[in-house]
Amino acid sequence: MRSIPMGSKSVVDMIEASSGVHFSGFHMDGLESRNTEMGQPTTSSTEKIYKQPFVIGVAGGAASGKTTVCDMIIQQLHDQRVVLVNQDSFYHNLTEEELTRVHEYNFDHPDAFDTEQLLCDMEKLRHGQAVDIPNYDFKSYKNDVFPARRVNPSDVIILEGILVFHDPRVRDLMNMKIFVDTDADVRLARRIRRDTVEKGRDIGAVLDQVVEHGLGHLPFTEKQVITPTGSVYTGVDFCKRLCGVSVIRSGESMENALRACCKGIKIGKILIHREGDNGQQLIYEKLPQDISKRHVLLLDPILGTGNSAVQAISLLISKGVPESNIIFLNLISAPQGVHVVCKRFPRIKIVTSEIEIGLNEDFRVIPGMGEFGDRYFGSGYDCSMEILSFRKGILAADESTGTIGKRLASISVENVESNRQALRELLFTSPNALSYLSGVILFEETLYQKTSDGKPFVEVLQENNVVPGIKVDKGTVELAGTNGETTTQGFDSLGARCQQYYKAGARFAKWRAVLKICPTEPSELAIQQNAQGLARYAIICQENGLVPVVEPEVLTDGPHDIKKCAYVTEIVLAAVYKALNDQHVLLEGTLLKPNMVTPGSDSPKVAAEVIAGYTVTALRRTVPPAVPGIVFLSGGQSEEEATQNLNAMNKLPVLKPWTLSFSFGRALQQSTLKTWAGKKENVEKAQEAFLARCKANSEATLGKYIGGGAGGLASESLYVKGYKY
Region for 635 from its dihedrals, namely left if φ exceeds 0, alpha if ψ lies in -120 to 50, beta otherwise: left
Whether 414 is a known active-site residue: answer no
CA–CA separation, 538 vs 594, rounded Å? 15
| 663 is a catalytic site residue | yes
Residue from 146, 140, 163 nearest 94 by CA = 140
Has 478 been annotated as catalytic?
no
Instruction: Choose the catalytic residue: 66, 269, 471, 510.
Output: 510
To the query of whether residue 398 is one of the catalytic residues in this protein, the response is yes
| Pairing label, strands 131-133, 149-151 | antiparallel
Whether the CB-CB separation of 501 and 470 falls below 8 Å is answered with yes
Contact by Cβ (8 Å): 671, 708: no
Nearest to 316 by CA among 301, 332, 300: 300
Contact between 57 and 175 under an 8 Å Cβ cutoff? The reply is no
Residue 503 and residue 496: Cα distance in Å, rounded? 11
Distance of alpha carbon 675 from alpha carbon 334, whole angstroms: 57
Catalytic annotation present for 47: no
* 3-state class (DSSP) for residue 548: strand
Distance between CA atoms of 322 and 348, rounded to whole angstroms? 9
User: Is residue 96 annotated as a catalytic residue, yes or no?
Assistant: no
Name the catalytic one among 195, 398, 425, 473: 398
DSSP-assigned states of every residue in 598-610 = ---TTS----HHH
Which of 425, 553, 639, 641 is an active site residue? 553
Write down the H helix ranges in 505-561.
Answer: 524-543
Local structure of 272: helix, strand or coil: strand
Query: What are the CA-CA distances from residue 479 to residues 487, 488, 508, 580, 608 (Å)?
Result: 6, 9, 27, 21, 34
E strand or H helix at 664: strand 659-664
Determine how many CB atoms are found less than 10 A away from the CB of residue 607.
11
- CA–CA distance from 84 to each of 6, 115, 146, 153, 163 (Å)? 19, 17, 18, 11, 16
Q: Which residue in the list 246, 250, 384, 663 is annotated as catalytic?
A: 663
Question: CA 662 to CA 668: how far, in whole Å?
Answer: 10
Q: How far apart are CA 425 and CA 439, in angstroms?
A: 15
Catalytic one among 425, 551, 557, 639? 551
Q: Which amino acid makes up residue 311?
A: Q
Q: CB–CB of 626/588 below 8 Å?
A: yes
The phi and psi torsions of 565 (rounded to 5 degrees) equal: -65, -40
* Active-site residue, from 269, 471, 516, 593: 593
**Residue 298 · residue 327 · CB < 8 Å:** yes
Please confirm, yes or no, whether 88 is among the known catalytic residues. no
* Residue-by-residue DSSP string for 361-408: TTS-EES--S-HHHHHT-TTHHHHHHHT-TT-EEEEE---HHHHHHHH
Residue 120 burial (CB count, 10 A): 12
Which residues are designated catalytic?
398, 510, 551, 553, 593, 663, 725
